[in-house]
Each structure stands twice: as structure tokens, then as C-alpha cells.
Amino acid sequence: MDASMQDGLEAYCRRRFPEKGQLQVKDFRSLTGGWENEVYAFDLEYGPPEDRRSDQLILRVYPGDHADFKSQREFHAMRKLHTAGYPVPYVHILEKSDSPFSKPFLIMDWVEGQLLSVRMSTLPEAERAALRTRFCQLLVRLHHLDWRPFQEEGTNYEADKPYFFVDKYLAGEQEVLEEWGLPGFAPVLAWLGERRDEVPCLEPAVTHGDFHAGNLLVRDDGSVIVVDWTGCRVSDARLDLARTLLFIRAYGSEDRRMLYLAEYERLAGAQLQQLEWFEALACSLRLRDVVIALSNGPEKLGWRPDIASTVRAQIAGNRETYEFLRELTGVRVPEVETLLV
């Protein structure tokens, strides 16, 4: 499969870059991808023998439903982030209509580095604390970017409508629960709806949607690059942080979650209000995705088809997420309990 993909990519690049003579795709190899993408690295060699050049690049292929939308959103988000000076890989191409893989894809710069999650696991506490601060600095910095260039076309987040996002969350979840037949989540949605008036958004923010140490790369010079922007959107920063803290708690500990929360608030210069509401929403979003993926197939969520085994392997983290949801809301969800037995 990799050989045929390499041939298809090489033919595409020759059409796309006619100015790069004697072009060849070399060292094409599969990397560990995220839940939503197939990820490959390759070298693009070109030029005459006496002046041969080589660019190290990444190919991100989007399978599953909503692939066109997700690829487009990631491409434009990364372009805007790069323009804003935020540390992301530079994206060169978004291809949807002329893909040799019958799926949309991006080509972006290769970043040499080590996953922050791997780096943190090998360091003493003092050095982990420094990286924790760097992690939180990047999240705070993202949330303080000018959000206006990132708003979706045709959307207007008006300052006099502080419930724009919360109403969007609640309406969107109602649609999802009805579409997939998940009545067990209805009491969670009711709990959120009853507290709707307590969580106005005073200022929209650029959000990542999956900001965790597995999506940050530490380079040899100590700089950190943030990847995987398919979930980037203008939203409430508290939901973005809640997703991050949920990941830390589910696959780490409550003590670690509190460390990150304290550092985020210290750097942001403010204590977050009503964060528990957003943490309950984050738990519900995560768990209903797990139920849909295992009951109907991961591709229905735009995930890779083979990711179902990964979801099943993370049963402990999903149990912790469910326990946190129950702790916050007191609600039981039969569909989740059936899967976690």
C-alpha cells in the first residue's frame, strides 16, 4: 500500500510542482497518526544532479465522514496561526479534488522533535514543571490570540450575545442525541441546560479542541510546536481547557489536573468561573463519541476505521471520565455503563 501511495504522491507532486525538475518522492513511510488522520513522512527531492535539493515533508490524509470539511478547517487554521506567529508547522497544500488517494490531504513541513508526552515521562519533577509551564503558556497564548480572523465565514459572534456558545453547545448536543438515539444522555443535557444562565462567555477565543502533550513536539532547541488542528474553532476557552484537564485527569491523576489548572490560571491572571459546567460538557462529549464509535463505527465521527481497537484499549480512561461526569452531575448514563462493564 505504501508503495502505491508513494507512486501516486510522486505523480501528483510532479503535476503540482512543474518547476521542480527531476522530482522524486523518497523515504516514504507511515507514522503513527491521530484518530482522524493517516500520517506519512517523505522527502521531496528535485533539481539537477549537480544541485540536488531535498525537502522533508508530512502528508496528512483524511478518511471517514466530513473529511473535506475537516481538512479545509485544519489547513486554514494553520495558515492563520502561522501568520499570527503561533508555533505550528507550515502547511503548503490542501488538496481535495485531485487526490491520488481518493481522500483529501495536506502537505506540510516536517518538524524534527520529540512528543512532549514522551519527554515528560523521562524527566525529574523540576524539569517536568518547566515543561508544564511551557504547555500552559502555549494554551493561554492561543486563547489570547485575536479570534476575529479565525471566525467561520458567515458567523458573527456579537459581544451582546454572551450565550451564543452555550446555546450552540446545547442545541448541537440535542441534535446528536436525537440523530444517534442516545436517550441516556438526555439527563446530562438537562443538567447543563438548567445551569445555562450561569455560564455566559464574555470573550470568544481561538481553541484547539484536543490540546494535550501528545499533540506538542519539543525540538532540540527547546522550542515547542503544536500540531493536530482539525478541531480548531472560535469558542469558549473554558471548554478547550476543560477538554485538556479531562485528558490529564483520565490518563494521569486529579492531583496532576489541579497542577495544570493552577498554572493556567496563574499565567492567565484570572480564576476561571463555572469551569465545572464545561468539564461536565467535556465528559459528555467524550463519552457520547465513544458510544457512537463503538456502536456505529469510528468513521461515522470522521475517525480512522482502525481506531476502534484504541478506544477499547482506553477503557480505564473512559471509566475515569464517566466517574468524573457522575461526580459533577450525579447523572447515570446507561449506554456508557453497558460499554464499560
Residue 294 domain flag: yes
Of 228, 36, 38, which is closest to residue 116 (Cα–Cα)?
228
What confidence category does residue 15 fall into, taking pLDDT thresholds of 50, 70 and 90?
very high
User: In terms of domains, do 192 and 51 share one?
Assistant: no
What confidence category does residue 154 fall into, taking pLDDT thresholds of 50, 70 and 90?
low
**23 backbone dihedrals φ, ψ, rounded to 5°:** -75, 140
Residue 70 domain flag: yes
The set of residues, in sequence order, having a beta carbon less than 8 Å from that of 50 and lying 6+ positions away, is none
User: In terms of domains, do 224 and 330 share one?
Assistant: yes
User: In terms of domains, do 259 and 216 share one?
Assistant: yes
pLDDT of res. 301? 72
pLDDT of res. 32? 72
User: In terms of domains, do 280 and 174 share one?
Assistant: yes
Residue 116 domain flag: no
Of 301, 303, 270, 276, which is closest to residue 288 (Cα–Cα)?
301
User: In terms of domains, do 80 and 165 share one?
Assistant: no
- pLDDT of residue 166 exceeding 80: yes
The Cα–Cα gap between 134 and 155 comes to: 32
217 has which bridge partners? 115, 225
Boundary residue ending a domain (109, 140, 165):
109
Dihedral sign for Cα atoms in the order 103, 106, 111, 116: negative
Task: Map grid coordinates 499565567 to a residue.
Answer: 267
Residue 119 domain flag: no
**16 backbone dihedrals φ, ψ, rounded to 5°:** -75, -30
pLDDT in tens, 208-263: 999 999 999 999 998 999 999 999 999 999 999 999 999 999 999 999 999 999 99
CB 138 within 8 A of CB 87: yes
pLDDT in tens, 168-222: 999 999 999 999 999 999 999 999 999 999 999 989 999 999 999 999 999 999 8
- pLDDT of residue 5 exceeding 80: yes
In this prediction, residues 21-26 reach a mean pLDDT of 95
User: In terms of domains, do 65 and 135 share one?
Assistant: no
pLDDT in tens, 284-331: 999 998 898 888 777 767 666 767 777 777 788 899 999 999 999 999
Q: Quick one: cell of 145?
A: 490570540
How many domains is the chain partitioned into structurally? 2
pLDDT of res. 159? 60
Boundary residue ending a domain (109, 136, 168):
109
pLDDT of res. 160? 66
User: In terms of domains, do 188 and 43 share one?
Assistant: no
Of 55, 115, 67, 129, which is closest to residue 95 (Cα–Cα)?
67
Report the CATH number that the domain containing residue 13 is assigned in CATH: 3.30.200.20
Q: What single string gives the DSSP state of each residue in 40-68?
A: EEEEEEES-GGG-EEEEEEEEE--STTHH
User: In terms of domains, do 179 and 85 share one?
Assistant: no
pLDDT of res. 304? 67
Task: Map grid coordinates 492567565 to a residue.
Answer: 268
Secondary structure letter of residue 20 according to DSSP: S
Q: How far is CA 171 from CA 13, 167, 176, in A?
A: 43, 6, 9
Boundary residue ending a domain (47, 79, 109):
109
Residue 336 domain flag: yes
pLDDT > 70 fraction of the chain, expressed in percent and rounded: 96
In this prediction, residues 117-133 reach a mean pLDDT of 90
**320 backbone dihedrals φ, ψ, rounded to 5°:** -65, -40
Residue 118 domain flag: no
User: In terms of domains, do 17 and 93 share one?
Assistant: yes
46 has which bridge partners? 53
Secondary structure letter of residue 177 according to DSSP: H
- pLDDT of residue 266 exceeding 70: yes
H or E stretch at 46:
strand 38-46
User: In terms of domains, do 188 and 93 share one?
Assistant: no
* Domain, as residue range, for 74: 2-109
54 has which bridge partners? 45
pLDDT of res. 296? 77
CB 207 within 8 A of CB 243: no
Secondary structure (3-state) at 175: helix
The Cα–Cα gap between 80 and 60 comes to: 18
The set of residues, in sequence order, having a beta carbon less than 8 Å from that of 337 and lying 6+ positions away, is 322
CB 38 within 8 A of CB 104: no
pLDDT of res. 153? 74
pLDDT of res. 341? 67
Name the CA dihedral angle for 97, 100, 105, 111, rounded to a multiple of 10 degrees. -140
pLDDT in tens, 55-88: 999 999 998 778 898 999 999 999 999 999 999 9
User: In terms of domains, do 75 and 136 share one?
Assistant: no
Report the CATH number that the domain containing residue 131 is assigned in CATH: 3.90.1200.10
The overall average pLDDT reported for the chain is: 92
- pLDDT of residue 104 exceeding 70: yes
Residue 115 domain flag: no
**317 backbone dihedrals φ, ψ, rounded to 5°:** -65, -35
Residue 117 domain flag: no
Residue type, 76: H
| Radius of gyration of the CA atoms of the chain, in A | 21
User: In terms of domains, do 203 and 309 share one?
Assistant: yes
- pLDDT of residue 24 exceeding 90: yes
Secondary structure letter of residue 97 according to DSSP: S
* Angle formed at CA 338 by CA 335 and CA 341, multiple of 5 degrees: 145
